[in-house]
Amino acid sequence: MRVPIIAGNWKMHKTVGEALALVRELIPLVAQEEAVEVVVCPPFTALYAVARALGGTKVGLGAQNLFWEEEGAFTGEISPLMLKEVGVKYVIVGHSERRAYQRESDEEVAKKLKAAFQNGLNPILCVGEHLAEREAGQAEAVVAAQLKADLALLGADEVEKLVIAYEPIWAIGTGRSAEPGDAAQMAAFIRREVGRAFGERAAEMLRIQYGGSVTPANSRAFLTQEGIDGALVGGASLKAESFAAIVASAKK
Ligand code: PGA
């Protein structure tokens, strides 16, 4: 049985003070949700403080990126060891904003996924197509190519623990979400591709999220789709009430 996972990607929002205010408001709202895994991904500067505020609660901590080496002369980077030490459990890898603005390649994404697993972090891998690619009927081919390259260094024992967020790029931060049926179709496609490459067990255990303009108004339509096991939420995760409403909508 796959436990639904709702993760909030705060992106470059929230100072330490704002982050603490948000989690303090959020904790009592989601504390009762036994059957849903809840994760928040603050910016690096707030991780330590948020980890302390979350201690002993059921809300998990995630980071938004990592570097693949454990230490060294890599100015500006953050290692998996450093994340682990402050209590991070999940890490978003290959978000489309990093692929676009930081020119993050599939090869780098693959190294980051491997480094996360080697250090006991659970990655949330983001994949998804551009609008022109969807309109050209290329969405599945694009996602298949991303999966092939991004998962290249992993074994089935790792892939079964993976979370993959299907995030069509045109749906991120635009208020224009995908059709729930289209998202479910892509989730099924991703599971088939993973099954072909890593076997049935990995495909069955892998959790697949939908991401892209998820709100309390549309979340249930996604989360009740066969094969969609959660959501990666940007904008609507920045307010405790809307994020908690999305968490509540994930209950089976
Ligand atoms: P959004 O972002 O919910 O604001 O569309 C989702 C994401 O980028 O993970």
Helix (H, G, I), strand (E, B) or coil at 236: helix
| pLDDT, position 33 | 86
Q: Exposed e or buried b for every residue in 160-199, given b needs 16+ CB within 10 A?
A: bebbbbbbbbbbbeeeebbebebbbbbbebbbebbeebbe
pLDDT at 31 over 90: no
pLDDT (tens digit, 9 = 90+) per residue, 36-46?
999 999 999 99
pTM given for the model = 0.98
| C-beta 62 within 6 A of ligand 1 | no
Active site residue 167: yes
| Type of residue at 182 | D
pLDDT at 1 over 90: no
Measured in Å, residue 199 CA sits from the centre of ligand 1 at 30
Q: Which of 10, 13, 98, 213 to mutate to test the pocket of ligand 1 (most atoms within 8 A of CB)?
A: 213
Measured in Å, residue 24 CA sits from the centre of ligand 1 at 22
Q: Which residue in 108, 160, 167, 193 is the catalytic one? A: 167
Domains detected in the chain: 5-249 (3.20.20.70)
Measured in Å, residue 174 CA sits from the centre of ligand 1 at 9
pLDDT at 252 over 90: no
